[in-house]
Amino acid sequence: MTTPETPNGVVHRNIKTPQSEEISGPAAGNRNNVSDEDLRQWQKHAQRVKEKVLEQVQVQLSDLLDQALTETVESFTQTQATFNGKTTNKSAPRSQRADDGKVFVARPSLLDELFEINHIRTIYHMFIAVLLMFCLSTLAVDYIDQGRIVLEFDLLFFAFGKLGTVVWAWAVMFFYTLLVPYLTLVIWGSLYHTCPSKLGLSLGTGLILSAVQTYVLGLFPIFVVIQYQLPPASRFIVILEQIRFLMKSYSFIRETGPVIMRNTPKEGESPRFPSLSSYLYFLFCPTLIYRESYPRNTHIRWKYVGITTGMIFGCLFYAYFILVRLCVPVFRPETKQPFSKRTMVLAVFHSILPGIMLLLLCFFAFLHCWLNLFGELLRFADRMFYKDWWNSTSFANYYRTWNVVVHDWLYQYGYRDFLWLSKRKFRTAAMLSVFIVSAVVHEYALAMGFGFFYPVMFFLFAIFGVVFNFAMNDKRQSPVFNVVMWASLFLGQGVQVCLYSQEWYAQIHCPRTENSFWEMVTPRSWSCSYQR
């Protein structure tokens, strides 16, 4: 039998009756709504899972690549280790290779890479625009107050006064650091393998060198700063160079001494010592860890040198305008504001903006511009002077990434040596000791630079810093903790700028009446009654 065809070739299909549509229509709509809602929720959940998985994979992959790169470079440097051009220690054991410390690799600074991205460079342009606004504001106020444009920069000239004294004091410290530790190492190394009492020779040489270091690099800069009454910026130059020379000379002795002790010369041969030129290069290159050689670039980019130098001067004027426009008008005594808890709280919060701007300027001017300038001039290829500390979600990570140059020195000669002496039993004590040493050195630099003792930095660093280091550790990965870190930095910088500014003016208007110990260590702002 054949199926009858419909007109015009249209094929009949099974179609639900209207009654069935009325019954099933609302139920089907509900089912569609429910399924759509479930689908949207599932998509959101899948997106969140995807973001978390990608973030974890990215972090783990970065760690694996860094570890692989470090192990590869360490293996290569160990099998090709040279000392004055001769290969030694080709078959060093793996455990020894793991303890060799920092490995230098040719790499650019992080901001140099980020500034190639237009979105990040726009933030840099915004800071330049703010600097221009500061300049225009200062010029406008001076013109309104005095009827003319004033470009005196008297605060800068005051802060960097007596540069002649700074130059000859730096020259004394430099030539001492260049010659005395090096000659001491050569004399000690020449006698070490032939002396019957190696321990006595080492202890005697160490004590003599420590005594000389204490007088020349310890007391001499303090004498210059106090005796010649240097202004603040000149004080900081002398004190910071004092600390740098101490850290560099210690690293040189610490790295070369064990090598000389391990490598016994053959009969009739003299011990091999590092060249004076390599030590001279180390004194100027932007690292505190001594090596006989470093990765070097092939040439100097003079355009980069010029731009970096201009940015350093720009940061200097930026800091000047911040102090003149945001700090001096608030804390100078002529404002005639009676002191109270309210004015204190308002002053702290008013100091947050200039405080965080000064922090960013110090980071950019020194850790990026200054170190990259010397790195470029010396063709020093390892430019990892800092990491992405601004993304930190823990203070432990912030302390490791803010200043990699100093962190490497503290980790190498503080934390690791403490663990070695304690046979790796007291890791917490090692970490606390590094924090205390760092806090003391920071407070010493500020006390000598400002000319008064007010341990605000010490308490923020040694007490609150330690608490936050353990409370906000590396397990904290939520972006909320990045907000907490930045809020803590804001508040900490506001407290420091406020208290140090008040103490500065208190020291001027309420000078000490006697030179007793308690008079010198007691902040004048606690008892000075001048009207702020």
Known catalytic residues?
442
Q: What type of residue sits at position 42?
A: W
Name the H helices within 451-516. Answer: 456-459, 465-471, 479-509
CA dihedral 278, 281, 285, 288 (to 10 degrees): 50
Residues 6+ apart with CB under 8 A from 331: 347, 498, 501, 502, 504, 505, 532
Cα 250 from Cα 155, distance rounded (Å): 36
Q: Return the closest-CA partner of residue 92 out of 68, 70, 76, 72.
A: 76
The residues, any chain, with a CB within 8 Å of residue 485's CB and separated by 6 or more, are: 392, 393, 394, 395, 398, 472
| Residue labelled with tokens 């490995």 | 103
- Which residues, in sequence order, are CB contacts of 471 under 8 Å at separation 6+? 395
DSSP assignment of 254-317 equals HHHHHHHHH-PPPTT-PPP---HHHHHHHHHSS-SS--S---B-SS--HHHHHHHHHHHHHHHH
- Is the separation of the CB atoms in 448 and 231 below 8 Å? no
87 φ, ψ (degrees, to nearest 5): -80, 135
Residues 253/289, Cβ–Cβ less than 8 Å = no
Angle at CA 19, nearest 5°, toward 13 and 21? 65
Cβ atoms < 10 Å from Cβ of 83: 16
Residues 154, 159: Cα–Cα separation, whole Å? 9
Q: At what angle do helices 341-350 and 479-509 cross, to 10 degrees?
A: 120
Q: CA-CA distance, 282 to 177, in Å (whole number)? A: 11
Give the containing element (helix H, strand E) for 194: none
The residue among 496, 452, 449 whose CA lies nearest residue 242 is 449
**383/366 Cα distance (integer angstroms):** 13
User: Is the alpha carbon torsion for 237, 238, 241, 247 positive or negative?
Assistant: negative
- Residue 296, strand partner residues: 380
The residue behind tokens 């051009």 is 85
Question: b/e for 419-451, b at 16 or more Cβ within 10 A?
Answer: beeeeeeeeeebbbebbeebbebbbbbbbbbbe
The widest CA-to-CA distance across the chain, in whole angstroms, is 128
- Whole-Å CA distances, 405 to 166, 343, 368, 376, 390: 24, 39, 11, 16, 17
